[in-house]
Amino acid sequence: MPLYELFCVAASSAESAPIRDLVRTTSSLILEHGGAVRGVQYWGRRVLPQRTRRHQVWHSQGDHFFLQFDTNPRVLGTLSSRLRADPRVIRWTTLKLGERLDQISPDPARARPTGYASDAGQMGGNNTIRFRSDE
C-alpha cells in the first residue's frame, strides 16, 4: 500500500477534545479499510496567514496536525469527502510519498549533496570563502 501524508488545519477550540476526536475518526477510517497509521504529530494552534471562511464561519487561527499512513488509494476519496463535510476542518491536503519502501527512503550513497565542509579535501583548490572586508 502507498504511504501518504495528511496535513490538516482544524478549527481552534479551547478544549483539546475536538481535535483528538477528529484525529481518532480519521485514523479509524484508515484502519477500518486495512491501512496503517505510521505517525501523528500535533503542530499546535497557529494564526492562519489570512482569515478563512469554512462552513459559514470565519477562522483566524487553527489547530494543525500531521498524519502519516498507508492505505488503499480508493480510501482517499472517502477520506476527502469526510474531511470536506466535517465542520471542524478548515483546510487539508494529502500527499503521496511513494508506492514502495525504496521510493520513500533515500539511498544513503546519494543522501548528502557534495560541497560540504567534510568534502573540502575532495574539492581541490582554495576552499576559503572571502568577503569584501577580507580583501
pTM of the predicted protein model: 0.70
What is the predicted pLDDT for the residue at 1?
82
- For residue 90, how far is the Cα from the chain centroid? 15
**Local confidence band at 134 (pLDDT 50, 70, 90 cut-offs):** very low
Partners of 107 in the β-ladder: none
Higher pLDDT, 10 or 120: 10
How far is Cα 14 from Cα 21, in angstroms, rounded to an integer?
14
- Using the predicted structure, report yes or no on whether residue 131 has a pLDDT greater than 50: no
- For residue 126, pLDDT over 60 is answered with no
Mapped onto helix, strand or coil, the DSSP state of residue 31 is: helix
State the alpha helices, DSSP H only, in 6-135.
17-32, 73-85, 101-104, 120-123
Going by C-alpha positions, the residue among 37, 2, 24, 131 that lies closest to residue 88 is 24
pLDDT of residue 62: 94
Predicted pLDDT of residue 99: 81
Between CA 70 and CA 27 the distance in angstroms is 11
Higher pLDDT, 17 or 105: 17
Predicted confidence at residue 75, as pLDDT, reads 92
Q: pLDDT over 90 for what percent of the chain?
A: 61
For residue 87, what is the enclosing H or E element?
A: none
Q: In the chain, what are the domains? A: 3-103 (3.30.70.60)
Mean pLDDT of the chain: 82
pLDDT tens per residue across span 53-109: 999 999 999 999 999 999 988 999 999 999 999 999 999 999 998 886 666 666 555
Give the type of residue at 3. L
| Residue 8 neighbours by CB distance under 10 Å | 24
